Amino acid sequence: MNTTDRFLSQTHTVKNQPPALEDYNLFAEDQALQEAVKREGAAWSEQDLLRFGAECGLPERITLGFAANANKPQLMTHDRFGHRIDQIDFHPSYHQLMDIAITEGLHASPWANPKPGAHVARAAKYYLHTQVEAAHGCPITMTFAAIPALHHQPDLLAKFGPKIMAPEYDGRNVPDTMKHGMTIGMAMTEKQGGSDVRTNTTKAYAIGAEGPGKAYELVGHKWFVSAPMCDAFLVLAQTEKGLSCFLLPRWRPDGTKNALHIQQLKNKMGNVANASSECELRGALAWMVGEEGRGVRTIIEMVAMTRYDCMIGSSSGMRQAIVQAIHHAQHRSAFGATLVDQPLMQNVLADLALESEAAMTLTMRMARAMDQQDNEHERLLARIATPIGKYWICKRTPNHAYEAMEVIGGMGVMENTIMPRLFRESPVNAIWEGSGNVQCLDILRAIQKEPEVLEAYFNELQRAVGTDKRFDFFVSKLKADFSSTPKEQWQYQARYFADHMAIALQAALLLQHAPAYIADAFCASRLTAHTSANYGCLPTGLDPRAIIKRALSA
């Protein structure tokens, strides 16, 4: 080949493309999270979070998330000899992610080592970890959430609790007696009822004596069993006294396989690395947890914690989305200027950054409430603010993910970037553990059952009253709306109340704790008539550069 041929074969040099976002510290680059960890009571965890944040930004750690999602779990109902095994095979990357999560204590650290700020430290670490890969967080969350429910049955907690809380992951399909650690799942939903679990038809038959802690055989069908390779499951089934809660192991104490048969894996649009399934219970052994006929009351302890984790997960998705968008805009030029320096792009990025910080701030405030459940205000606030936060943050995430994807443009829809995964993952938390309407109804149920929760909510807002006139007016109107709306119309207006309660709570927290330019921008864009349905409509007079720099200064 002569010189001319070589010249003609080189069509271009790659330029104006951002480098891969890797080898960065997810904690060190998140100023708002660092402040929240200190403020909410877990300053003692900073060095550990710095260490873990650096690990989460390593190329090899990021690669695990891509590999786990590129290789879907595979179900084998029988082995080659015809034995029923109900085994799900995962890519090794999934097991590595699970091992990291459990070794780091994301499944149980506040229960295994309770101390001031334990929930805050765990929430911060989970927030970092799920930015790498979110789907495997499902069994981690359920294992974490199972402990409060098992407190209703102390003998079962004593028997299984140490292994559930142990920092040991073992993904083998073998009896829990052969393991040093266990994971716990949940099986509530059935075809005919969905969220209306009281219509469940799965039946429980006592093997001998009846009542809490006693053995039963369960017969029925579960429509959604997420993470069916867990070692045991909290399950709802009907007895003569009504819907009751049970702990169902994958293997019986004698080492034989329990009669939990996986029918098929769900073919989901997102949450790909995690297996979700339909299961038949054909006389499966299980032990009653808590009072007979009070199964919802028992398992709601688990549901409440999973909803709290949905807040963490969706906030984490927002954080990863805005970081990717800002990183791209910092390194990409168009029409003669870097994207991040162009006014309209600054408006979009700053708006997305506000949403992300507000979500994280509310989530970490709830972590402090979880740490202080012996304080009546914190208990009441957690009761009402958890469904508020779960509803609002999870519902805001899909559009946030889409807008961040649009910032990146055509590359944002390529499967070799994280953006399609973030987008597909974004609706999951809004639907799972109770969809938007279920959360709104739970807010109303909390107020009706324990009116003090509404007082606690407004007491929390009161801490910011007097710092911003827009906020004061917004809170006054919200109080007036509760007073003037007939209670028979509350359900019809439930989303209106939930929306406004969420925005007001986020504003109150930002006014108290965030820099003035953050709180001002949030109030100007969320609490006034200016408010727009789309991101990128911040009013003038704000400081978008400062907001963007706070979100990612690298």
pLDDT, tens digit (0-9, with 9 covering 90-100), for 209-223: 999 999 999 999 999
Q: CA-CA distance, 31 to 490, in Å (whole number)?
A: 39
pLDDT confidence of residue 249 = 98
| DSSP 8-class letter at 374 | T
Percent of the chain with pLDDT over 70: 98
Using the predicted structure, report yes or no on whether residue 460 has a pLDDT greater than 70: yes
pLDDT recorded at residue 553: 76
In terms of DSSP bridges, do strands 232-239 and 242-249 run parallel, antiparallel, or are they unpaired? antiparallel
Q: Give me the residue label for tokens 């688990």.
A: 302
Give the CA angle between residues 42, 384, 530 to the nearest 5°: 90
Q: Give the pLDDT score at 192.
A: 85
508 near 471, Cβ under 8 Å? yes
Separation CA 414–CA 409 (nearest Å): 10
Collapsing DSSP states into helix, strand and coil, what is residue 78?
Answer: strand
Q: Are 302 and 143 in contact (CB under 8 A)?
A: no
Mean pLDDT value across the chain: 95
* Angle of CA points 147, 149, 154, to nearest 5°: 80
Tokens of 459: 């007491």
Taking CA atoms, 95 is separated from 191, 221, 401, 500, in Å, by 30, 28, 27, 41
Q: Residue 103 in 3-state DSSP?
A: helix
Of 431, 196, 401, the closest CA to residue 306 belongs to 431
Judge contact between 436 and 391, C-beta under 8 A: yes
**pLDDT tens digits for 1-43?**
565 556 567 778 889 899 999 999 999 999 999 999 999 999 9
Distance separating alpha carbons of residues 95 and 98, to the nearest angstrom = 5
Mean pLDDT of 77-102: 96
* DSSP annotation string for 309-369: HHHHHHHHHHHHHHHHHHHHHHH-EETTEEGGGSHHHHHHHHHHHHHHHHHHHHHHHHHHH
Q: Tell whether the torsion through CA atoms of 327, 329, 330 and 334 is positive or negative.
A: positive
Element of type H or E holding 304: helix 295-331
Query: Which amino acid type is present at position 45?
Result: S
- Comparing CA positions, the residue from 269, 313, 278 lying closest to residue 145 is 313
Q: Where are the beta strands (DSSP E) in 393-475?
A: none
Phi, psi at 239, each rounded to 5°:
-115, -175
Give 3-state DSSP helix, strand, coil % of the chain, rounded to 5: 55, 15, 30
- Supply the pLDDT for residue 4: 57
> How many CB atoms neighbour CB 554 within 10 A?
11
Contacts of residue 120, Cβ cutoff 8 Å, sequence gap at least 6 = 36, 37, 40, 41, 42, 45, 364, 367, 368, 371
Q: Are 286 and 252 in contact (CB under 8 A)?
A: no
Q: Under DSSP, is residue 282 helix (H, G, I), strand (E, B) or coil?
A: strand
In this predicted structure, the answer to whether residue 199 has a pLDDT above a threshold of 90 is: no
**Shortest CA distance to 244 belongs to which of 280, 297, 305, 199?**
297
The predicted-structure confidence for 384-439, as pLDDT tens digits, reads as follows 999 999 999 999 999 999 999 999 999 899 999 999 999 999 999 999 888 999 99
Distance CA 320, CA 97 (A): 17
pLDDT value at position 12?
A: 84
pLDDT confidence of residue 496: 97
The 10s digit of each residue's pLDDT in 399-410 is 999 999 999 999
The CB density around residue 553, as the number of other CB atoms within 10 Å, is 11
Tallying the residues shown for the chain, one arrives at 554
Q: Kindly provide the b/e burial profile for residues 528-538, where b requires at least 16 CB atoms within 10 angstroms of the residue's own CB.
A: eeeeeeebbeb
Residue 77: is its pLDDT beyond 60?
yes
Q: Report yes or no: 215 and 139 within 8 Å, Cβ to Cβ.
A: no
Q: Cα separation of 281 and 124, whole Å?
A: 37
pLDDT bracket for residue 196 (50, 70, 90): confident
- Is the whole-model pTM more than 0.75? yes
Identify whether the C-beta of residue 493 lies closer than 8 Å to the C-beta of residue 509.
Answer: no
Render 15-69 in DSSP notation, one character per residue. Answer: -S-PPPS-S--TTTT-HHHHHHHHHTT-GGGHHHHHHHHHHHTSHHHHHHHHHHH
**Closest-CA residue to 235 (of 275, 181, 290, 182):** 290
Alpha-carbon distances, residue 111 vs 3, 143, 164, 170, 361 (angstroms): 70, 11, 10, 20, 23
pLDDT at 366 exceeding the cut of 90: yes
Average pLDDT over residues 305-311: 96
Percent of the chain with pLDDT over 90: 91
pLDDT at 107 over 70: yes
**Which pLDDT belongs to residue 177?**
95
Give the dihedral of Cα atoms 107, 133, 44, 302; nearest 10 deg.
-30
Give residue-wise pLDDT tens across range 478-528: 999 999 999 999 999 999 999 999 999 999 999 999 999 999 999 999 999
Burial 443-468 (b: 16+ CB within 10 A, else e): bbebbeeeebbbebbeebbeebeeeb
